[in-house]
Structures are given as structure tokens and as C-alpha cells.
């Protein structure tokens, strides 16, 4: 975790750069040590600076995107997350000791985890999960989800074992959204970057142009990933339009049937074959040659 004092320094620097265009990274002095200057360029060249700058940019992108979707993280959720972190640290005393060692307090931690929690909500909001999706996921490993739900809600062993899908439906849908959202996490972040207008004002004009070109490239890549919509010409003739609809419906039905067939497990296929054979036998389709000959003679008469 990075001390919040660095954020104040960066913010101050950017304000100065904005207000005085003649200042350059190698001419602006941040500090002196025994007469030796530490400049903005020194800070810029530090690998941690680039990472921290990226963190600030991403935090702002996440907050903007979440606000646009009406998403937020309330104090109750933040406090709950903090309590989890305290428990993981070994209790209040150990927690405070760790914070002190990093020169932080709980407000600093809140400022760090809030964007992370917002990102989680944003990722979940970027995907769609139906009840059927959640049910299919649950049925793949019901005991696992029962244990996870029971542990999270402090249920007894008996209560946990008797949990049904309906009992956990909302929880399961939320978990499915979370996993699906994180699968698409990087593409969601790339899309936010591509759609944003980001200017790194502390950079030289040449470096700023390079960053601008990178962003344009990212935007082009995102545009290329978006599915293209092919419009089918509409027949003016009523009969032609009806024929097009019929053909389209037939094609869709055929594709659906083929897809459904491909999705059927081998065991179900075998069961279907056995059932078909049984039906044929019951209807007399599997008659012996002698029986067929007898039927043929009866027909001749």
C-alpha cells in the first residue's frame, strides 16, 4: 500500500504544472538533500511512480463509470470489509500494528478498498446472469455452494445440508455474476480506458503524444472487438418478406435443434436410443421374419 502523502505530492505537482507551462520535470525541484536536488523527473523515472499514477487514473475511471451506472459502496459495506481484514490480520491489536508499520490509518485503508469494491460492483453490473445460469452452476456442485453459503451465514450443519436452490437463489446469482464479471475484468478495464480522455500533464509534449497514440491504439482494438451488425435487406414484396421470415425461422429452428442435440450427454443419447427401441418393440416394428411373412400372406388373401 502506498502512503497517502504521495498522492498529495502528485496532486500538488500536477496543479503546478497546469498553472505554469514553463515548468518541466527536470527543472521542478521536489526536495533537496545536502544541496542535491530531487526533481519531478527523478520521481517520474521511479518505477513505482508509473504504477501509482496508473492506480490514480484507474480509481478515477472506476468512480466515473460506477457513478454513471448509479453504483456505490456504502459505509456499512466498507465497515464489514474492514472487519474481515482485521480478523484476517489477527485481531484489532495486530491490525493497528500493521497499519502503523506502513504509516497508515483506517481512513487510508478505506480510500484504497473503496475503489476495489466499486470495481467489483461494476464488473457484476457489466454481465447478465439468469436464474437458469445460476441453477446450472449450483447443480454442478451443490454441496460446495451449500457449505459456502452456510459458512457465510453462520448456519448449523443440519441447516446447511437442507439448503435448496431457492434458499440460496440470490446468493448464487450474485456469485455467478462475480465470477463471470472477473472473467471479463480486463476487457472491461480496457474499454474504460479506451473510452476515456486521459492526459498525463506531468509528461513532456513528446511523451504525452506517445501516450495519446497508445490510447488511440487501445480504442481501435476495442472497436475491432465489438461485434459488427449486418443488416439484411427487407423485401418490399409482401410474399417475399413472408418467405424471408419463414426461411429465417426454419434456419433458427434447425440451428436450435442442432445445438440442443450437440449439448445432450452420451448417457442421455443412450437412454433415448433404448427408449426408441422399446417404443418400436411395443408398436410391433420389430416383428420377426415369420410374423412379417404371415402378415404378407394375410394381405394377399
Number of DSSP helices (H) and strands (E) in the chain, helices first:
15, 2
User: 149 or 275: which carries more pLDDT confidence?
Assistant: 149
In this prediction, residue 6 has a pLDDT band, given cuts at 50, 70 and 90, of low
Answer for the pair 92, 83: CB distance below 8 angstroms, yes or no: no
Own/partner pairs for 110-118, CB < 8 Å, 24+ apart? 110/78, 110/82, 111/4, 112/1, 113/78, 113/81, 113/82, 113/85, 114/73, 114/78, 115/58, 115/59, 115/62, 115/63, 117/73, 117/77, 117/78, 117/81, 118/62, 118/63, 118/66, 118/71, 118/72, 118/73
**0.75 exceeded by the pTM?**
no
Residue 235 burial (CB count, 10 A): 13
Q: Is residue 69 part of a domain?
A: no
Question: Which set of grid coordinates corresponds to residue 266?
Answer: 452420451
Which residues on neighbouring strands pair with residue 38, listed in sequence order?
Answer: 31
Q: Is residue 167 part of a domain?
A: yes
Strands in the chain per DSSP E: 29-33, 36-39
- Chain-wide mean pLDDT for the chain? 75
Q: Is residue 134 part of a domain?
A: yes
State how many domains the chain has: 1
Q: Is residue 159 part of a domain?
A: yes
Answer for the pair 63, 118: CB distance below 8 angstroms, yes or no: yes
What pLDDT shows up at residue 67? Answer: 93
pLDDT at 183 over 80: yes
What pLDDT shows up at residue 45? Answer: 86
In this prediction, residue 118 has a pLDDT band, given cuts at 50, 70 and 90, of very high
Which residues on neighbouring strands pair with residue 39, listed in sequence order?
Answer: 29
pLDDT at 158 over 50: yes
pLDDT at 301 over 50: no
Q: Which residues form the domain of 145?
A: 127-183
In this prediction, residue 258 has a pLDDT band, given cuts at 50, 70 and 90, of very low
Half-sphere exposure of 173 (CA within 13 A, CB side): 11
In this prediction, residue 122 has a pLDDT band, given cuts at 50, 70 and 90, of very high
What pLDDT shows up at residue 22? Answer: 55
Q: Is residue 166 part of a domain?
A: yes
Q: Is residue 191 part of a domain?
A: no
Q: Is residue 257 part of a domain?
A: no
What pLDDT shows up at residue 10? Answer: 53
Question: Which set of grid coordinates corresponds to residue 229?
Answer: 451488425
Give per-residue pLDDT as tens, 193-241. Answer: 888 888 887 777 888 888 889 888 888 888 887 665 444 544 444 444 4
Give per-residue pLDDT as tens, 31-65. Answer: 999 899 998 888 888 888 888 888 889 999 999 99
Comparing CA positions, the residue from 137, 167, 135, 126 lying closest to residue 149 is 167
Q: Is residue 163 part of a domain?
A: yes
Biggest distance spanned by C-alpha atoms of the chain: 124
Residues ≥6 apart with Cβ < 8 Å to 208:
199, 200, 201
Does the CA dihedral 123-52-8-23 come out positive or negative?
A: negative
DSSP string across 115-165: HHHHHHHHHHHTS---HHHHHHHHHHSHHHHHHHHHHHTT--HHHHHT--H
Give per-residue pLDDT as tens, 77-115. Answer: 999 999 989 999 999 999 999 999 999 999 999 988 999
Amino acid at each position: 500500500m502506498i502512503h497517502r502523502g504521495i498522492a498529495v505530492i502528485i496532486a500538488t505537482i500536477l496543479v503546478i504544472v497546469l498553472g505554469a507551462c514553463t515548468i518541466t520535470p527536470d527543472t521542478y525541484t521536489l526536495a533537496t538533500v545536502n544541496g542535491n536536488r530531487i526533481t519531478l523527473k527523478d520521481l517520474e523515472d521511479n518505477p513505482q511512480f508509473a504504477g501509482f499514477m496508473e492506480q490514480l487514473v484507474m480509481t478515477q475511471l472506476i468512480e466515473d463509470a460506477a457513478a454513471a451506472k448509479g453504483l456505490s459502496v456504502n459505509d456499512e459495506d466498507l465497515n464489514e470489509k474492514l472487519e474481515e481484514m482485521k480478523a484476517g490480520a489477527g485481531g484489532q491489536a495486530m491490525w493497528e500494528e500493521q497499519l502503523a508499520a506502513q504509516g497508515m490509518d483506517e481512513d487510508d485503508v478505506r480510500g484504497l478498498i473503496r475503489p476495489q469494491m466499486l470495481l467489483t460492483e461494476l464488473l457484476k453490473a457489466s454481465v447478465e446472469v439468469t436464474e437458469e445460469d445460476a441453477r446450472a452452476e449450483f447443480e454442478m456442485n451443490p454441496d460446495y455452494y451449500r457449505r459456502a453459503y452456510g459458512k457465510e451465514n453462520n448456519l448449523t450443519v443440519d441447516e446447511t445440508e437442507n439448503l435448496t436452490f431457492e434458499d440460496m437463489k440470490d446468493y448464487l446469482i450474485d456469485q455467478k455474476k462475480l465470477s463471470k464479471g472477473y472473467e471479463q475484468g480486463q476487457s472491461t478495464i480496457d474499454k474504460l480506458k479506451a473510452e476515456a480522455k486521459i492526459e498525463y500533464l506531468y509528461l513532456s509534449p513528446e511523451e504525452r503524444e506517445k501516450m495519446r497514440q497508445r490510447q488511440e491504439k487501445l480504442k481501435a482494438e476495442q472497436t475491432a472487438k465489438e461485434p459488427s451488425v449486418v443488416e439484411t435487406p427487407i423485401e418490399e414484396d409482401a410474399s417475399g418478406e413472408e418467405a424471408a421470415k419463414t426461411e429465417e425461422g426454419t434456419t433458427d429452428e434447425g440451428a436450435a435443434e442442432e445445438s440442443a442435440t450437440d449439448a445432450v450427454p452420451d448417457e442421455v443419447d443412450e437412454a433415448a436410443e433404448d427408449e426408441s427401441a422399446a417404443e418400436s418393440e411395443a408398436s410391433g416394428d420389430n416383428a420377426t421374419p415369420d410374423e412379417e411373412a404371415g402378415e404378407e400372406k394375410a394381405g394377399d388373401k
